[in-house]
Amino acid sequence: MVNSRRCARCGASSFRADRSLAGRLVCSRCGAPASTRGTGWKPSSSGRSSGRWAWWLLLVTAMVLLVLWLQAS
């Protein structure tokens, strides 16, 4: 049986009401909201930034090639 009075992230049993979250309970040790399940760490980015870097790299490469082509003519 899972104890619902423990933090899902760190296992601590002490919670406090956080005024900045409208009085919701948060873990005193790690600060995780008590209402969330412990699903592990998730990165803040959903992978879109890596695609953005690829487009910038492609754009810079195309500009360099264009400048070199114009310099050669």
pLDDT, tens digit, 9 for 90 and up, residues 17-69: 888 878 888 888 888 888 755 444 555 555 556 677 888 899 999 999 999 99
Domain assignment present for residue 67? The answer is no
Helix-then-strand count for the chain, H and E: 1, 2
Q: How far is CA 17 from CA 2, 3, 23, 45, in A?
A: 22, 20, 5, 29
Domain assignment present for residue 17? The answer is yes
pLDDT, tens digit, 9 for 90 and up, residues 40-53: 455 555 555 667 78
Cα separation, 15 vs 31, whole angstroms: 9
- 42's tokens: 């998730």
Q: Domain range holding 6?
A: 1-37
Domain assignment present for residue 47? The answer is no
Q: What is the total count of domains within the chain?
A: 1
Domain assignment present for residue 25? The answer is yes
Domain assignment present for residue 42? The answer is no
Domain assignment present for residue 53? The answer is no
Domain assignment present for residue 69? The answer is no
SS3 47: coil
